[in-house]
Amino acid sequence: MKRNVEIMSPAGGFDSLMAAIQGGANSIYFGVDQLNMRARATMNFTLDDIPEVAKICKENNVRSYLTLNTIVYDHDLTIIKTVTNAAKAAGITAIIAADQAVIAYARSVGMEVHISTQVNVTNIESVKFYSLFADTIVLARELSLVQVKKITDTIKAEQIKGPSGRLIEIEIFVHGALCMAVSGKCYLSLHTHNSSANRGACIQNCRREYKVTDREEGHEFAIENEYIMSAKDLCTIDFLDDVLDSGVTVLKIEGRGKGPEYVKTVTECYRAAVDAYFDGTYTKEKAAVWKEKMENVYNRGFWSGYYLGQKLGEWTDTAGSKAKQRKVYLGKGNNYFNKVGVGEFLIETHSLKKGDSILITGPKTGVIETVVEELHTSHGPVEEAVKGDLCGIKLDKVIRKSDKLYKLVSAEI
């Protein structure tokens, strides 16, 4: 069977970019400062980072997509051109866009364009229209797989091609956060805080707990155990065979605001699932194992979205993550001794013991997960390193001074 499916992973920073590559991503998508749907995130790249992002992706044979998919005003047009020109010069693969001004300018300088889910494409006629400008189209998140398959079947039957001359590729989200609004078009944050979600500045007030007020008598009731506007996270791994049977060719993972351990874990699981599908070894039992693994990283609980025809959303019962594991910050990398394969760390808080599970993240390191089998300080082999200690840990991968060390603990602790 032809392996023509692309796994597309989020990169909120260089550590997540490396994590996506380590996890087996075929492509990554990222934002620069303003004008992307995660503009409020602390992990966005800068304009000066674009050449380095492009370089890393090229070295690893990974496609790179720059998101410029917000609502655009007249005063944004100069920066749109500046960012697009920088992407073109660096060799970024494509621009993800929603506004016609961005689409038109990207096409005018010869950049490949992908149509963002913000456009809310839900039918084949819209696909035909946007095929005039784009090679890849992200469908609205509210479609069922039956509707998706009808679109992909028509693309093949009618040979609908993009500007490159290739058949239009259809992309859908397969994992991550879902917004209560239609394909992310929400005005709640703008209404309450003058901070537009459609400009990438959502404050996520839908993720909060609310009370219901009886307007006749003023009685208030807390809505217990359900955050009525906060959807559970999308997870398709336990019906990924149906997703792939629908004819989509790009599987997009949400999460530019999440940590590198999330990016690596989720990417690894979908990489394994896609490979198993093409090998003919995909099973529901394997999917259950992958799903359980993804429960260890950030999630609000899982549901299937609207792909299986469900009419109503499933709401989470917590304000934050339901991950079964938590990471506890311990300290920073100090040195790596190549001859003996030992990473040295300064413990800045808490303590580290033999047998602890640890997570190491960094801009060049990406993600390392391992168990501490040996622990050394200036006193020699020890059972525990405490705050202020320089400790050595046996590692088969290089760590750097910028790397952060975490202890992984059960969420119940």
Q: Alpha carbon of 157 to those of 153, 172, 223, 300, 320: distances in Å? A: 6, 20, 50, 39, 45
Separation CA 223–CA 225 (nearest Å): 7
Q: Is the pLDDT of residue 350 over 70?
A: yes
The answer to which of 43-57, 79-93, 222-236 has the lowest mean pLDDT is 222-236
The string of pLDDT tens digits covering residues 362-373 is: 999 999 999 999
Q: Is the pLDDT of residue 21 over 70?
A: yes
Q: Is the pLDDT of residue 33 over 90?
A: no
- Contact between residue 286 and residue 293 where contact means Cβ atoms under 8 Å apart: no
Q: Alpha carbon of 218 to those of 36, 212, 285: distances in Å? A: 41, 10, 51
- Contact between residue 44 and residue 36 where contact means Cβ atoms under 8 Å apart: yes
- Contact between residue 186 and residue 200 where contact means Cβ atoms under 8 Å apart: no
Separation CA 141–CA 234 (nearest Å): 10
The string of pLDDT tens digits covering residues 210-239 is: 666 767 777 666 555 555 666 788 999 999
Q: List, edge to edge, every strand of the sheet that includes 404-410.
A: 366-371, 357-362, 404-410, 325-337, 342-347, 390-394, 375-377, 380-381
pLDDT at 180: 62
Confidence of residue 189 (pLDDT cuts 50, 70, 90): low
List 391's β-bridge partners, or say none.
345
DSSP class of residue 198?
G
**What sign for the dihedral angle of Cα 319, 320, 324, 329?**
negative
Q: Is the pLDDT of residue 249 over 90?
A: yes
Q: Is the pLDDT of residue 45 over 60?
A: yes
Q: Is the pLDDT of residue 261 over 80?
A: yes
Q: Is the pLDDT of residue 263 over 60?
A: yes
274 or 34, higher pLDDT = 274
- Contact between residue 15 and residue 363 where contact means Cβ atoms under 8 Å apart: yes
pLDDT at 230: 64
Classify residue 194 as exposed, middle or buried by CB count within 10 Å of its CB (0-12, 13-18, 19+): exposed
Count of all residues that appear for the chain in the document: 413
pLDDT at 1: 44
The string of pLDDT tens digits covering residues 280-334 is: 999 999 999 999 999 999 888 888 888 998 666 666 666 677 788 999 999 999 9
> Which DSSP helix (H) or strand (E) runs through 151?
helix 145-158
Whole-model pTM above 0.95?
no
- Contact between residue 50 and residue 66 where contact means Cβ atoms under 8 Å apart: yes
SS (H, E, C) 64-121: EEEEECCCCCHHHHHHHHHHHHHHHHHCCCEEEECCHHHHHHHHHCCCEEEECHHHCE
- Contact between residue 399 and residue 343 where contact means Cβ atoms under 8 Å apart: yes
- Contact between residue 399 and residue 297 where contact means Cβ atoms under 8 Å apart: no
What's the longest Cα–Cα distance across the chain?
76
DSSP string, 285-349: HHHHHHHHHHTTSS-S-EE-TTTT---S--B-SSSS---SEEEEEEEEEEEEETTTTEEEEEE-S
> Which DSSP helix (H) or strand (E) runs through 7?
strand 6-10
Q: Is the pLDDT of residue 142 over 60?
A: yes
Output the six-digit token pair for 257.
């605001």
Output the six-digit token pair for 82.
């500046």
Give the number of other Cβ atoms within 10 Å of residue 363's Cβ: 17
